[in-house]
Amino acid sequence: NTQRQMETIVLYPSPGRGHLISMVELGKLILNHHPSLSISIHILVTTPPIHLGSTAPYIASVSATIPSITFHHLPTPSPPLDPTSFPSLEALLFEHLNLTNPHVHNSLLSISQSSSPIRAFIIDVFCTTALKVSTSLHIPTYYFFTSSTSCLALFLYLQTIHKNTTKSFKDLNTTLLHIPGLPPIPASHMPEPTLDRTKESYSSFMDSSTNLPKSAGIIVNSFDSLEPRILEVVSDGLCVLDGPTSPIFCIGPLIASNNQSGGEVHQCLKWLDKQPSKSVVFLCFGSLGLFSKDQLKEIAVGLERSGQRFLWVVRSPPTQDQSKYFSPPPDPDLDSLLPDGFLDRTKERGLVVKQWAPQVAVLGHEAVAGFVTHCGWNSVLESVCAGVPMVAWPLYAEQRFNKIMLVEELKLALPMNEAEEGGLVC
Ligand code: UDP
Atom of ligand 1 nearest to the CA of 287: 23
- Evaluate if residue 53 carries a pLDDT over 80: no
Q: Encode burial over 208-240: b for 16+ CB neighbours within 10 A, e otherwise.
A: bbbbbbebebbbbbbbeebbeebbebbbebbbb
Report yes or no: 18 and 50 within 8 Å, Cβ to Cβ.
no
Ligand 1, atom 16, residue with closest C-alpha:
286
Cα 276 to ligand 1 centroid, rounded to whole Å: 25
ipTM of the complex: 0.99
- Evaluate if residue 260 carries a pLDDT over 70: no
Ligand 1 probe mutation, 254, 359, 368, most atoms within 8 A of CB: 359
Order of strands across the sheet with 6-12?
Answer: 69-73, 38-45, 6-12, 118-124, 141-145, 217-220, 248-250
The CA distance from 87 to 379, in Å, is 26
Model confidence pLDDT, tens digit, residues 76-107? 999 889 998 998 888 999 999 999 999 999 99
Report yes or no: 254 and 221 within 8 Å, Cβ to Cβ.
yes
Percent over 90 (pLDDT), the chain: 82
Mean pLDDT for the chain overall: 93
- Residue 282 has what pLDDT? 98
Model confidence pLDDT, tens digit, residues 127-145? 999 999 999 999 999 999 9
Range name among 87-96, 278-287, 309-318 with the lowest pLDDT average: 87-96
Ligand 1, atom 7, residue with closest C-alpha:
359
Cα 176 to ligand 1 centroid, rounded to whole Å: 30
- Evaluate if residue 263 carries a pLDDT over 80: no
Ligand 1, atom 8, residue with closest C-alpha:
356
Ligand 1 probe mutation, 25, 314, 379, 402, most atoms within 8 A of CB: 379
Cα 241 to ligand 1 centroid, rounded to whole Å: 33
- Evaluate if residue 28 carries a pLDDT over 90: yes
The CA distance from 332 to 256, in Å, is 26
- Residue 259 has what pLDDT? 56
123, burial (CB in 10 Å: exposed 0-12, middle 13-18, buried 19+)? buried
Using 50, 70 and 90 to split pLDDT, how confident is the model at 51?
confident
Beta-bridge partner residues of 217? 142
Atom of ligand 1 nearest to the CA of 353: 8
The CA distance from 126 to 72, in Å, is 18
Ligand 1 probe mutation, 23, 54, 287, most atoms within 8 A of CB: 287
Q: Encode burial over 148-159: b for 16+ CB neighbours within 10 A, e otherwise.
A: bbbbbbbbbbbb
Query: From residue 195, how far is each of 38, 120, 177, 233, 383 by CA, in Å?
Result: 45, 33, 13, 24, 28
Using 50, 70 and 90 to split pLDDT, how confident is the model at 1?
very low
Range name among 125-129, 253-257, 289-293, 309-313 with the lowest pLDDT average: 253-257
For ligand 1, residues with CB inside 6 Å are 18, 256, 284, 286-288, 313, 356-360, 376-379, 382, 397
Model confidence pLDDT, tens digit, residues 217-238? 999 999 999 999 999 999 999 9
Model confidence pLDDT, tens digit, residues 109-127? 999 999 889 999 999 999 9
- Residue 411 has what pLDDT? 96
| CA–centroid distance for 231 within its chain | 20
Handedness of CA 228, 254, 92, 133 (dihedral sign): negative
Percent over 70 (pLDDT), the chain: 97
Ligand 1, atom 22, residue with closest C-alpha:
286
Ligand 1 probe mutation, 378, 381, 399, most atoms within 8 A of CB: 378
- Residue 221 has what pLDDT? 96
Model confidence pLDDT, tens digit, residues 142-163? 999 999 999 999 999 999 999 9
- Evaluate if residue 68 carries a pLDDT over 80: yes
